[in-house]
Amino acid sequence: MHALAHQLGGRYHTPHGLANAILLPHVLRFNLPAIPADRLARLNRIFGLDPAAPGEALVAVLADFVRDLGLPTQLDPPHLPDLPGLIDDTLRMAMTPNNPRPVTAGDVKTLLNMLLDNG
């Protein structure tokens, strides 16, 4: 959901790379069902995991990587008041249909709530 990183930058001046780093483990978890096994195996190898490791192992490694870089792992609560507008604008972005898995308003809301709760 790269489109969400664009919205965070435009609305809250979150640097684009930082927004993507915060989103990365959560978006990967969301997209796991749509990632082909050969691609997951390749990503696992790149990050030092057994190629047959489950997707959640890769999510954990990426979450640790973001933390080890000293980057935040959640959004600040001020993002919450504009949640409906943020969701709508994310879904309107031209790149949203390019996500490996279809995205609904409920999916974006769940992702944002996880990011606000550090879930």
Angstrom distance (rounded) from CA 7 to CA 118 = 19
Q: Quick check: is 42 in a domain? A: no
Q: What CATH number did the domain enclosing 14 receive? A: 1.20.1090.10
Q: Is-contact 48 38, C-beta < 8 A?
A: no
Asked if residue 49 is part of any domain, the answer here is: no
Does residue 107 form part of some domain? yes
48 lies in some domain:
no
Cα 110 off chain centre by: 11
- pLDDT tens, per residue, the chain with 119 residues: 688 889 888 888 889 999 999 999 999 999 999 999 999 999 999 999 999 999 999 999 999 999 999 998 887 766 556 788 889 999 988 777 888 999 999 999 998 888 877 54
Asked whether residue 61 is domain-assigned, the answer is no
| Number of structural domains in the chain | 1
- pLDDT at residue 98, rounded to an integer: 87
Look at residue 94 and tell me if it is in a domain: yes
DSSP 8-state code for residue 104: -
The angle at the Cα of 78, spanning 100 to 62, to the nearest 5 degrees, equals 40
- pLDDT for the residue 79: 54
Predicted pLDDT of residue 8: 87
